[in-house]
Amino acid sequence: MTLARFSQLNFSEYLKRDTLDTLDQHFLSLLASQQKNLHRDLLRYRENPKTFSSLQISELIIHAARELENFIAEFFDIESATAAQQTFIEKDKAIFAFKKWIVLRRAKRRLTREETLEPFESLNAWLNNQLDESGDKELAVSELAVRYLDDKEAYEAKLEKLTQWAIHCLKDHSKHVSGWVSFKLPKRTDYRRLIPIITEHGAQQLPAEQWRSRDGFDLTDSGMNERQVQAEIDYCVLCHDHDGDFCSKGFPEKKGEPELGFRKNPLDNTLTGCPLDEKISEMNTLQKEGLSIAALATIMIDNPMCPATGHRICNDCMKACIYQKQDPVDVPQIETRILKDVLSLPYGVEIYDLLTRWNPLRSEQFVEKPYNGKKVFIAGMGPAGFSLAYHLLMEGCAVVGSDGLKIEDLPQTYLNTAIEHYSDITEPLSTRQVLGFGGVAEYGITVRWDKNFLKLIYISLSRRKHFQLFDGVRFGGTVTIESLYAMGFDHVSIAVGAGLPKALPIPGSMAPGMRQANDFLMALQLTGAAKKDSLANVQLRLPAVIIGGGLTGVDAATEAQAYYIKQVEKTLARYEAL
C-alpha cells in the first residue's frame, strides 16, 4: 500500500490519531524492506531500551533519523528543499578544511615564531588575483585553499603565501577577515573574568566593539546564521561515540564511577549537563550532514517543547561541555538554528507539529496513545504547564489548561488548515499581538528572545482533540481543588510558577516610584504599552535606579531605557496630532 502525500490528505483526517498509526506502520515497513537490521533493532528498542548500551542507542538513533529525514521529506513532497539545505552545508565544508589545515595547523603554530613575512599588502593583492569574482570571499579563499591542499607538492609556494596571509590576519589585520568563522578561534576561559569589563571615566563597561544598540522593541538577537552554527558543530568533537558527551549526561567527577557524582567548576556550579538529557552529540552529527529534520527529530526525543528552549533560554549543556578551559560549544545556538532551518522549509510548522505527535526515534511516547478516560486539570500555562499538558496528552489523558491571565484565541485557520510557510504566522515583536500563552515566557522574557516560538506550542496543543484551554481562571478563587474533583477531574496539577511579586523587607520598598522588577516587566509586556498604537502606558521617569545586577535587573534596565524613548515619542506624536 502506497502512503498518500501530505497534500493529498484531508487536513481534519490528517490530524486524527489513526493517521499517526498509519504513518508509523509505513515507516516501519520501509525500514523492513530496506534496512532489516535497523527495523529489528528499532522494534527491540521500543520493547526494552535497557537492553541497549548508550553507544548502541546513539548509533540506532542516528541511522533511524537519516531514514526518517527521507521519509518526512517525501511525505511532505519537499525533497528539493531539503536537498538545497544539504548542498549549502556540503559546500561550506571547504571553509572548515581551510580553518583546520591552514589557519590552525599552519598559521596559528607560527604566530610566536620570529620570522620575516612578505608584506600583507602584496600578499593580499596576490590572493585577490587568485580569486574569481565572488560575493563570498571566505568561501572563495577556502575553496582555493582546498585546491592547493589537494596537490601540496605542485602548490607548495602558493600554500606558503596563503599561510603567511593567514598569519598576518591573525596578528594585525583581523579587519580583513571580520565575521569569518574560519578565523574565529576559541578563547581561554577565565572564570574570574567571564565578562571582559574595562573602566572608562571611572565607570565599568564592555569594550565598545561589543556594544549592541537597542532601539525599540523588535528582536535584538536573531542568533547565529547557518555558517556560524556549522562552525560550532565543526568545533564539537562529537563525544557520544566514547560515552563522553558530558554536555548531555553531566560532567562526572571521575568517568566510570557515577557514584562520585558530578564535578563542579571554579564558580561552584555543578556540571549536570542538559536537564533533559537531550542527545546533543547525535544532533550535531546529523546537522553536520545537513539533515535538519533528522536533527530536529533527535532533539525532540527528549525535548519536544524545543521552541521554548535553546538560545537565550538555557546553557547547562555549555557549562558541562568537554571544553572546560576554553570557550564551550554553543549548543543552544545550534538547537535553535536547527529548529529555524526546519521551519524555513515548506510546511516546516507542520513538520514540527507532526514530530510532537509522532516521533519513531523514541522508545516511549513515539505515537499519541488512545484516550484512556483520565481527565487532568492544570493550573498555569507557562513552560511547566504546557510541557506537562503535552506529555499527559501523549499518554492519552484529556487535559484542561487554565491561566489567570487573558489568553487570546488563535485564528481558526491555524487549527483547521495546513500552514505552509512559518512566515505566515510570525510577527515583528514590536507589533506582535500579545497572546498571553506561555506564562513567564510571554511576560517575563524581553525581546532578546523570539516569542513567535510560543505560537508553535500553542498551535500544537490547541489542535489536540482532548485539550481545552480557559483563561481568566484563578486557582483558589474561580476554581478550587474540591470544585474540580466535583466536576469529575481525576487529577489536579499546580504549575503557577513564581507567583506574585514579593516586596523587599526593607524600609521604603513600596514608596511612590518604587516597583518590583518582575511587576514592571510583566506590566510592560502584557499591556502592550510599548506599541506605537497602544493607549496603555506604564508610568516611568528617568533617571531610574535598578537595584540588583542579575538577569532580571539587566532586563529591567534595558526595558526602562527603551520604553522611556517610546513613551516620549508617543506623547510627542499625540501632542502634535492634537
Domain of 343, CATH number, reads: 1.10.1060.10
Q: What confidence tens digit (pLDDT) does each residue in 452-467 have?
A: 999 999 999 999 999 9
pLDDT of residue 502: 75
User: Residue 511's pLDDT band (boundaries 50, 70, 90)?
Assistant: confident
Mean pLDDT for 202-225 is: 88
User: Is the domain of 343 the same as that of 463?
Assistant: no
pLDDT of residue 48: 95
Q: Flag whether 340 is in a domain.
A: yes
Least reliable range by pLDDT among 206-220, 299-313, 331-345: 206-220
pLDDT of residue 499: 65
pLDDT at 1 over 80: no
Q: To the nearest 10°, report the CA torsion of 86, 91, 94, 100.
A: -20
Q: Flag whether 197 is in a domain.
A: no
Q: What's the pTM?
A: 0.95
Give me the residue label for grid cell 509505513. 26
User: Residue 531's pLDDT band (boundaries 50, 70, 90)?
Assistant: confident
Q: What confidence tens digit (pLDDT) does each residue in 439-452 have?
A: 989 988 889 999 99
pLDDT at 278 over 60: yes
pLDDT at 576 over 80: yes
Q: In whole angstroms, give the CA distance from residue 30 to residue 556.
A: 54
The fraction of the chain above a pLDDT of 70, given in percent, is 99
pLDDT of residue 443: 87
Q: Three-state SS across 19-70?
A: HHHHHHHHHHHHHHHHCHHHHHHHHHHHHCHHHCCHHHHHHHHHHHHHHHHH
Q: Flag whether 47 is in a domain.
A: no
Mean pLDDT for 100-119 is: 94
> How many structural domains are present in the chain?
4
Q: Flag whether 394 is in a domain.
A: yes
Q: Flag whether 16 is in a domain.
A: no
CATH number at residue 400: 3.50.50.60
User: Is the domain of 174 the same as that of 241?
Assistant: no
Q: Which of 131, 162, 183 is the last residue of a domain?
A: 183
Mean pLDDT score of the chain: 94
Least reliable range by pLDDT among 142-151, 164-173, 324-333, 493-502: 493-502
Name the DSSP class of 116: P
Mean pLDDT for 403-424 is: 95
What is the radius of gyration, based on Cα positions, of the chain?
27
Query: Is 14 in a helix, a strand, or coil?
Result: helix
Integer CA distances (angstroms), 573 to 218, 532, 568, 570, 578, in order: 20, 10, 9, 5, 9
User: Is the domain of 353 the same as that of 222?
Assistant: yes
pLDDT of residue 2: 66
Under 8 Å between Cβ of 149 and 94 = no
Q: Which of 322, 357, 392 is the last residue of a domain?
A: 357
User: Is the domain of 446 the same as that of 542?
Assistant: no
pLDDT at 561 over 60: yes
Q: Flag whether 479 is in a domain.
A: yes
User: Is the domain of 222 the same as that of 345?
Assistant: yes
The fraction of the chain above a pLDDT of 90, given in percent, is 80
User: Is the domain of 243 the same as that of 332?
Assistant: yes
Mean pLDDT for 207-212 is: 85
Mean pLDDT for 66-85 is: 97
Closest CA to 361 of 274, 308, 309, 286: 286
Q: In whole angstroms, give the CA distance from residue 466 to residue 464.
A: 6
Name the DSSP class of 167: H
User: Is the domain of 255 the same as that of 171?
Assistant: no
Count of Cβ atoms closer than 10 Å to residue 481 Cβ: 14
Q: In whole angstroms, give the CA distance from residue 71 to residue 23.
A: 10
Q: Flag whether 533 is in a domain.
A: yes
User: Is the domain of 487 the same as that of 533?
Assistant: no
Q: In whole angstroms, give the CA distance from residue 124 to residue 162.
A: 9
User: Is the domain of 380 the same as that of 353?
Assistant: no
Q: To the nearest 10°, report the CA torsion of 540, 541, 543, 544.
A: -30
pLDDT of residue 351: 98
pLDDT at 536 over 90: no
Cα–Cα–Cα angle for 90, 96, 97, rounded to 5 degrees = 95
pLDDT at 231 over 60: yes
Q: What cell does 548 get? A: 540588583
Q: In whole angstroms, give the CA distance from residue 342 to residue 290.
A: 11
Q: Flag whether 57 is in a domain.
A: no
292-302 and 280-288 are packed helices; what angle lies between their axes, rounded to 10 degrees?
170
Cα dihedral sign, 396-398-403-406: positive
User: Residue 213's pLDDT band (boundaries 50, 70, 90)?
Assistant: confident
Under 8 Å between Cβ of 475 and 402 = yes
User: Is the domain of 351 the same as that of 222?
Assistant: yes
What is the domain extent for residue 571?
A: 517-577
Q: What are phi and psi of 334, to 5 degrees?
A: -65, -50
User: Is the domain of 390 the same as that of 431?
Assistant: yes
Give the list of residues 6+ apart from residue 518 with CB closer than 8 angstroms, or none.
444, 498, 501, 552
Give the residue ranges of DSSP H helices in 346-417. 348-357, 383-394, 412-416
Q: Which of 459, 494, 529 is the last residue of a domain?
A: 494
pLDDT at 59 over 90: yes
User: Is the domain of 348 the same as that of 425?
Assistant: no
